[in-house]
Structure 1
């Protein structure tokens, strides 16, 4: 058989098939972690250990493709970043760097960004429908009742088969963001869908953070529908990037200053006592666990002396460490600047909403694998152009 045919068949068929299958298993792990089902047989099946092996295997599949294509210099850079991800994981047991940056980078070498959006949207939607349907049919994985206490009453919060009511809002918010990003055109009544989901998340699981983000997404989609032809032109990408990076540093600094100096405590507590609890628990987490360069393995369980830390701006430096957190912040700034510079306002709006959501909840979880797809896709095209130019000489 023709060796060239075998080479192309391996790169175009076999590697993508295995890569897609492994990505499916990773998604299943990430999704199961948000349900009570994940905690009942998750450890029993050693699913976590299996998925830890999957990531290096995905990397090896990618390396074989690069070796076959003889991109040796590029291989060195890829190995370097994988080592960086592995060092971070060795300290914190977190795959944040790999799942949010490296995995999309690998996937985009085999699949188009539209196909990844399409798969993520329908996979997550089907998973949500299955878990919620099982709960509605009485096959719930937990009998725990969640309540939100008000001044003179309480509200029952439905978890719909998920581990916590906030996980319902979290799931629907991610599905909505992917739906918003995957289409080039904002459909006529998209804002109605997002607004309906916002009210659903507020009344059923009573998840305020996700409900607010979905409401803002409905407003953004409404405005984008009627004012999509507005373009703001900038002459220098470096200036835009520097301004955004400086603004993000100020944003994170302000959150830390509020938490550590009790600024606006009465005002924030009046709006939401839960939001202020995020700040105070974040401060307590920093004081108790400290911040390491490459993160640390800690337990949030009360029986282990821990406590929940939800805000991205505290949990990321505590768990993932200072270096990965700075990398995330710089890349987030680059993604925002690139989105503005390329007129990808839908993407910019989603990033800003994630930035806001991160005040009270986490945006560094693996299900946010979609977050940097457009930016990474742009970087891949730049790299491919440079490789093509270097091969021309």
Structure 2
């Protein structure tokens, strides 16, 4: 008993010393990202940084700026002033089915080691769920925390950004157990987002014919450009990459797709539309109506919660409602309209769209079993491409690097920069 009071006094003294201490704050979720400029801009997924009170970029400290496009699930975050980064180049060449790829990132933060992880695989499909041409399906195994990391080809060029994976809830709803079904948003979509934000995109040089580096060499070269992204929320949030319990907005993949965090219900503001005469909206059509006026078409879109954009064919009096819109191209026979919330992300291009017209010669690349949107993205993200011809009936796309003689050709959709 003679030692009780001194021990108690020591314990109370220690309690007084440490009682006011601030313990290390734990991140509410995590993801990955990679440098796209040399002055600290990092590209990642929007769902990695959405709802964060603050964001930390690897060992560089807190992010000081944020640009986000929730529609395409992309975000740009800026490291603090003075941070120098080594950008990865985006590939503008056509992506081929089956080509070898590498995914980089920081999965399972707090469980696995803190070091970067790499997995290898292939391009399984040239579109995502429900033929969403913004995505690639990939076989590289990914885990919670990989979101936002780069998917690179065997030369180290970015072809996509790891974004989604089918989760257990998909099995619960369908009875089908997905095995390694993952998706990456195309680098071309990221390029459009960056350009809309005023960034100059760094495109990769053509490496055709060059020796293919070893997996170890290319991983060693690219990993310094990849960063762990830590989200610190104002209030506790759901752990990273839990199954989505509610659907994303209609233009996003359905429930059963795994992202980074659950999205809270959003109070939808009053939707207003921006009209653009003599333009065609590039997006995914889900409904068409003939023999209507432009005002009727616009009213249908305004009253439909799914509709984010429309194209009205003035000569045919036809209305096409779209889930989304990524760009506008010039078309004297058309009028477009899109929701005002997309003002900063829609790219108004100098492309001229013409129907039943083709250009002779100039073909340097060919994409089969595709759609108009993928053909457009393939050309707009390729510095070499100045025009494309798309044949809907055959689902064929031809990219052109020089202009021949325009000629009338039924069944061809022509796009010219």
Q: Compute the TM-score of the two structures, normalised by the length of structure 1.
A: 0.23
Q: Which has the higher strand share?
A: 2
Q: Which has the higher contact order (CA 8 A, sep 6+)?
A: 1
Q: Compute the TM-score of the two structures, normalised by the length of structure 2.
A: 0.22
Q: Which has the higher helix share?
A: 1
Larger CA Rg, structure 1 vs 2: 2
